[in-house]
Amino acid sequence: MNFFANKKIYLAIVIVLTIIFCALISSFLPRENKRSDFFVIKNGESLTSISRNLSEAGFFSSESTFKYFFLAFFNGESARTGTYYFRDVNNIFDLGYRIAYGDFEEVPVKITIKEGTNKFEMAEIFEKSLPNFNKNNFLKKAKEGFLFPDTYFFRVDDNEDVVFKTLGETFENKIGKLFEERNIKEDKKIYDIVTLASIVEEEASKPKDRRIIAGILQNRLKINMALQVDVTFQYINGKNTYELTLEDLKDQSLYNTYIHTGLPPTPISSPGLDSVLAVLEPIPNDYLYFLSSRNNVMYYAKTFEEHKKNRERYL
């Protein structure tokens, strides 16, 4: 074996050892900047692009280190496309092996949507949890109020179509049954019930209070009195009762129930089962006014004078 052949062997050994050393160093670098446990490799994506995206996602600091490491240790293997769950990946060897052999570690993604969540808030939640979820596409399809709030388990690669279908079907299974049992079939009536229920959802947290308030709001609608509820402003400007100003109350939005009679044009959130039941089965009463104290206690009044006294006492 001549000098040049030996030199090539030594050079190759040095390169391999350098790659191993760099890989070992980078494998133990802190990952405080990791943005997500999920990572997507698209069909046809180059190793250079994958390495860059992994680095930008905070899995390691040097994109070139991973690229050369992958080529050296998984020669002949290509990165497998798909969505990976990398929560328990501890080093660069683990990462390379998983990508080379398509070990996605599919773990159900648990997502809880609380009662009173609107579709815009839902879109933010799902976008953070599902890497293939497109917020804008979801919002184009989503019908406010008709996406049932619940705890769901999704596949990591589920997209906005799966989410939309799942939440819509759950609404039909749980809320739709209530309408079927009462032979309520008219679309407008169902829409109005859900819209009113979304207001009740925001106005009270206790089942009995919800049923009383549902009755009060229906009393107002019967006499064409403005609903005068503060919670619809959350849908306009995100403000609660204690943040509203006189200028806010003059807002010409159709969601301003102080200057427009009847229901707002859409639900303001997705109500839970209890709030829909409250609208379907309100407690009959002759109240026209209600307020919630800072201690979350409800007070009711038949006249505006009584209501003013309650405001002076409890707010």
Give the rounded percent of residues in the chain with a pLDDT score beyond 70.
Answer: 88
For 38-73, write each residue's pLDDT tens digit. Answer: 888 888 888 889 988 888 888 877 777 788 888 888
pLDDT at 121: 96
What is the pTM for the complete model shown?
Answer: 0.71
* Whole-angstrom distance, CA of residue 1 vs CA of residue 308: 103
Q: Which bin fits 296, alpha (ψ -120 to 50), beta or left (φ > 0)? A: left
d(CA 50, CA 36): 15
Sequence ranges of the domains in the chain: 3-101, 109-174, 186-314
Residue 153: half-sphere exposure toward Cβ, Cα within 13 Å: 3
Are the beta carbons of 109 and 129 closer than 8 angstroms? yes
For residue range 177-187, list pLDDT tens digits in order: 999 999 999 99
Nearest to 194 by CA among 144, 159, 126: 144
